């Protein structure tokens, strides 16, 4: 499903609490606005959640002052609830007093989402006309400020029963809102709802390469970094990563990829003064130069249906995946270059790999790094905590014997994990697992929540739910 991230000159005031605590690095000389210290110091005052899992997909925002408890049935600590028509697995994103979310509406697609752990690969059979829409809501009251129809037509690619035709998360920098719908196009709107530009990349056949009739729809979200839009599209008929001009939509560079279908969202990391694009994949996970598109490093192997987003912490880039023979989780050094061989075992590693576990990855969830600990949540509810620096397993715990699709997020020493059944498990961060509470959303939920100042926003099958103790 996948966020997602953004940072333009306008965004350089963004949340130290969102990523500095983890020491994520811009890597440029001190005193330069692009340097590690000054860049993240400038993020202190801007409390945004502008893309999938927040800035750099780091998945947390500290000092958000979220309530300890809520009750959707009684309305306790529920700031607002707003119904969103249609089906969508895109995450809400937040900038200042506005929330953005997408959906796809069809009068005939009645199947909804099929939850639980199963191996069904058949897509939903629906050839009805859909309306893809972008909603802008007020953060304070949840009222819809504006909505725009992005596209209308019969979907080019069918969806998985656990997916939707609006799975990609929008990205915003407070001036632009970018949405990538795969075969249905890439769109850029102003925050007031004006269409600024759109791009058509043709058919992007997001289907399983082993059974090509298993169409599962597109799921890679765009990334905004400074004045660039980064997109990744790995499909049956095409595979590429591209960087576009945020203001015009023109292609700056595009690199074709020797890759099988994946559902990953790209990210940004730094090596010295140089910003890099990093992508997950099976035949080609690796880094590209942001300016030129030059491939910096690559590795093949691992889970053969790549979904999770790479996550960056200090000088390490974390990847995980799980399907087929391998279930790897690994930490690649940010100065990696060239072709890196896939490790034969956990102990014989290239010097460019900090640590590696061949059976430690997750199928769908992206990892969370918080206070030097890495948390990996699997579909079956298994939570493993690793030491982020060396990969040592700190603990393993079954959160609940149910299914999880949403990635974990955190705030103020608490991890939020949302099961498909709509139960929110809140656990204390640290080297020992401690479950603090379980709370119900009253509906199924397959979406990673968004954290913003004083509020956490959940998406269920039917609505957005804003939880806050700031209620008059």
Residue range 225-284, pLDDT digits in tens? 999 999 999 999 999 999 999 999 999 999 999 999 999 999 999 999 899 999 999 999
Q: Which long-range contacts (CB under 8 A, 24 or more apart) does 145-153 make?
A: 145/98, 146/192, 146/193, 148/189, 148/193, 148/195, 150/102, 150/179, 150/181, 150/184, 150/185, 150/187, 151/181, 151/184, 151/185, 153/129, 153/184
- pLDDT of the residue at 472: 62
Q: How far is CA 274 from CA 96, 288, 290, 312, in A?
A: 29, 10, 8, 15
Sheet strands side by side (includes 98-105) = 93-95, 98-105, 130-138, 144-153
Percent of the chain with pLDDT over 70: 90
Q: In 3D, which of 160, 197, 230 has the Cα closest to residue 4?
A: 230
For residue 421, tell me if it sits in a domain.
yes
What confidence category does residue 219 fall into, taking pLDDT thresholds of 50, 70 and 90?
A: very high
Flag whether pLDDT at 17 surpasses 90: no
* Global confidence as pTM: 0.91
Instruction: Tell me the pLDDT of the chain averaged across its residues.
Output: 90
Flag whether pLDDT at 351 surpasses 80: yes
- pLDDT of the residue at 79: 98
Q: Where are the beta strands (DSSP E) in 11-84?
A: 78-83
For residue 335, tell me if it sits in a domain.
yes
- Please state, in angstroms and rounded to a whole number, the distance separating the CA atoms of residues 404 and 414: 18
pLDDT tens digits along 416-462: 999 999 999 999 999 999 999 999 999 999 999 999 999 999 999 99
What confidence category does residue 36 fall into, taking pLDDT thresholds of 50, 70 and 90?
A: very low
Average confidence (pLDDT) over 174-182: 98
For residue 472, tell me if it sits in a domain.
no
Comparing 20-34, 40-54, 221-235, which segment has the lowest mean pLDDT?
20-34
Whether 460 contacts 466, CB under 8 Å: no
- Domain of 153 in residue numbering reads as 6-467
Flag whether pLDDT at 72 surpasses 70: yes
For residue 1, tell me if it sits in a domain.
no
Helix (H, G, I), strand (E, B) or coil at 120: coil
Q: Tally the residues of the chain.
A: 472
Flag whether pLDDT at 14 surpasses 90: no
Flag whether pLDDT at 85 surpasses 50: yes
Flag whether pLDDT at 470 surpasses 70: yes
pLDDT tens digits along 117-133: 887 899 998 889 999 99
Q: Where are the beta strands (DSSP E) in 154-220?
A: 171-172, 176-180, 186-190, 195-199
Flag whether pLDDT at 172 surpasses 90: yes
């043709």: which residue's tokens? Answer: 202
CATH code, domain carrying 38: 2.130.10.10
For residue 203, tell me if it sits in a domain.
yes
CA 223 to chain centre: 10
Whether 341 contacts 382, CB under 8 Å: no
pLDDT tens digits along 360-412: 999 999 999 999 999 999 999 999 999 999 999 999 999 999 999 999 999 99
Domain count, the chain: 1
């460019």: which residue's tokens? Answer: 352
- pLDDT of the residue at 185: 98
Flag whether pLDDT at 3 surpasses 70: no
- pLDDT of the residue at 268: 96
Flag whether pLDDT at 37 surpasses 70: no
Q: In 3D, which of 194, 257, 274 has the Cα closest to residue 220?
A: 257
- pLDDT of the residue at 125: 85
Torsion sign across C-alpha atoms 233, 239, 245, 249:
negative
């Amino acid at each position: 499903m996948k966020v997602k991230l953004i940072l333009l000159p306008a965004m350089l005031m963004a949340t130290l609490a969102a990523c500095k605590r983890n020491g994520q690095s811009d890597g440029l000389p001190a005193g330069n606005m692009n340097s590690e210290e000054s860049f993240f110091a400038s993020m202190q005052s801007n409390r945004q959640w502008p893309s999938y899992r927040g800035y750099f997909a780091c998945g947390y925002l500290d000092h958000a002052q979220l309530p300890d408890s809520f009750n959707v049935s009684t309305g306790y600590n529920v700031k607002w609830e707003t119904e969103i028509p249609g089906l969508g697995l895109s995450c809400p994103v937040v900038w200042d007093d506005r929330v953005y979310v997408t959906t796809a509406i069809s009068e005939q697609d009645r199947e909804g989402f099929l939850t639980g752990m199963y191996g069904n690969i058949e897509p939903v059979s629906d050839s009805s006309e859909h309306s893809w829409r972008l909603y802008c809501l007020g953060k304070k009251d949840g009222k819809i400020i504006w909505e725009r129809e992005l596209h209308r037509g019969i979907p080019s690619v069918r969806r998985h029963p656990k997916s939707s035709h609006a799975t990609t998360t929008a990205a915003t920098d407070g001036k632009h809102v970018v949405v990538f719908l795969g075969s249905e196009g890439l769109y850029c709107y102003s925050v007031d709802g004006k269409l600024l530009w759109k791009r058509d990349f043709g058919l992007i056949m997001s289907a399983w390469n082993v059974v090509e009739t298993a169409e599962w729809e597109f799921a890679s979200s765009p990334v905004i970094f400074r004045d660039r839009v980064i997109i990744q599209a790995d499909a049956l008929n095409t595979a590429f990563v591209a960087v576009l001009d945020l203001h015009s939509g023109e292609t700056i560079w595009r690199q074709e990829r020797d890759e099988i279908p994946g559902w990953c969202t790209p990210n940004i990391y730094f090596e010295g003064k140089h910003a890099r694009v990093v992508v997950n994949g099976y035949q080609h996970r690796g880094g590209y130069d942001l300016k030129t598109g030059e491939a910096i490093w690559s590795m093949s192997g691992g889970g053969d249906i790549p979904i999770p987003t790479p996550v960056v912490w200090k000088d390490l880039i974390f990847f995980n995946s799980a399907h087929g023979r391998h279930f790897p989780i690994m930490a690649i050094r940010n100065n990696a270059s060239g072709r890196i061989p896939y490790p034969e075992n956990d102990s014989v590693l290239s010097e460019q790999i900090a640590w590696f576990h061949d059976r430690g990855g997750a199928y769908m969830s992206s990892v969370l790094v918080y206070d030097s600990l890495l948390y990996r949540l699997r579909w079956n509810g298994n939570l493993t905590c690793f030491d982020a620096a060396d990969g040592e397993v700190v603990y393993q715990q079954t959160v609940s014997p149910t299914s999880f699709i949403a990635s974990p997020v955190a705030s103020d020493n608490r991890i939020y994990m949302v099961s498909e059944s709509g139960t929110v498990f809140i656990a204390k961060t640290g080297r020992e697992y401690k479950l603090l509470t379980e709370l119900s959303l009253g509906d199924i939920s397959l979406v990673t929540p968004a954290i913003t100042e004083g509020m956490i926003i959940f998406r269920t099958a039917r609505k957005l739910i804003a939880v806050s103790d700031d209620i008059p």
